[in-house]
Amino acid sequence: MVIVMNIRSSKQDIEAVNKRLADLGFRTQAIQGVKRIVIGAVGDENTADSLLCLGQMPGVEKIVPIMKPYKLVSREAREEDTVINVGNVKIGGESVTVIGGPCAVESREQLLTAARQVKEAGGHIIRGGAFKPRTSPYSFQGMEEEGLKILREGSLETGLPVVTEVIDEYSLHLAMEYVDILQIGARNMQNFRLLKAAGQINKPILLKRGMSATIEEWLMAAEYIMSEGNGQVILCERGIRTFETATRNTLDLSAVPLVKRLSHLPVIVDPSHATGDRQLVMPMSLAAIASGADGLILEMHPEPSKALSDGPQSLTPEGLADLMAHLHRIVPAVGKYLA
């Protein structure tokens, strides 16, 4: 349930409500809105008279039970869009954020070149995988800590924040020393221990939709992170598995407006993994923005033909610059601005 405090409620009122909730066995999380504080409380709502007595406490405006299985993630817990600040970049709200970079960090030169090209094209955040969850154990698995150091260098040189994927608790704790956003990929969307560990740190988490996950399962995965105390979750639609084999996955764009209705969290789109085809990345990027996405994560490689992973879906540097030029026209048309 959500306890909505009234605009004039004092700090003491909020503390008293928190204490009462804790006594009743609820886990609480304050959600600061523009005008007021609401307290998300997760626990057994059948506890005798809990609802009744809470509603009488000073400063409490109303108690809203949440019927959905996800609570803190839901729009009912927070009416306004969550905006996540990463350095000077905002993700969510009115802004559209573009993340670009190679699938994997392959060498210092490759990543630094890509980072400069992303910056030059007007991208806001750099991506690059240092831990790669590959289908085959014989494929390139990533440069691990050396890759993280290179990402850090790319960030320092360009002044842009970086995101990298983590695949277990070891890589999570290592990566948080080097990067600004931690990605939990499609293959780990239901790695519940990893989700809980991500909930216990104070860094934004980019949570991709599992390739066979329903929207409810995806939002429940986000709830795992939020229920541990980390409210900085960015959702990413990256295509789901269907009977269609002509594209790598099927980009579920209807998920974007639907998830934005169900949740206050920002939603971005990855048209690279969704389509697997560089030529489809531009049209699906524009469609994603038109559908209400808060941003894009795009694979771009200085020389896609030489990429160690996902070359066919990687934009060239010129392709990224061209896409950015199109976004400059599309983004204002949907009432947003490029971050």
- Cβ proximity of 195 and 225 under 8 Å: yes
Decide: is 103 part of the binding site for Mn ion (CB under 5 A): yes
Q: What Å distances lie between residue 114 and 109, 122, 144, 277, 289, CA to CA? A: 8, 12, 18, 19, 24
- Cβ proximity of 277 and 285 under 8 Å: no
Could you give the dihedral angle defined by the CA atoms of residues 204, 207, 208 and 214, in that order, rounded to the nearest 10 degrees?
A: -150
In angstroms, give the least distance from the CB of 99 to ligand PEP: 10
Ramachandran angles phi, psi of 226, nearest 5°? -65, -35
Decide: is 186 part of the binding site for ligand PEP (CB under 6 A): yes
In angstroms, give the least distance from the CB of 96 to ligand PEP: 19
Which listed option, Mn ion, ligand PEP, none, makes contact with residue 186 (CB within 5 to 8 Å by class)? ligand PEP
- By CB under 6 A, how many residues form the interface with ligand PEP? 10
DSSP strands (E only) in 27-78: 27-32, 37-42, 60-64
* CB closer to ligand PEP out of 90 and 248: 248
- Residue from 102, 185, 304, 319 in contact with ligand PEP (CB under 6 A): 185
* CB closer to Mn ion out of 103 and 298: 103
Decide: is 129 part of the binding site for ligand PEP (CB under 6 A): yes
Distance CA 67, CA 203 (A): 29
Q: Which stretch binds ligand PEP (CB under 6 A): 12-20, 179-187, 218-226, 314-322?
A: 179-187
DSSP strands (E only) in 149-266: 162-166, 181-184, 205-208, 233-237
- Strand bridging mode 337-338 / 95-101: parallel
In angstroms, give the least distance from the CB of 71 to ligand PEP: 26
- Residue from 20, 124, 208, 264 in contact with ligand PEP (CB under 6 A): 208
* CB closer to Mn ion out of 76 and 310: 310
Residues that bind ligand PEP (CB under 6 A): 103, 129, 165, 185-187, 208, 238, 270, 273
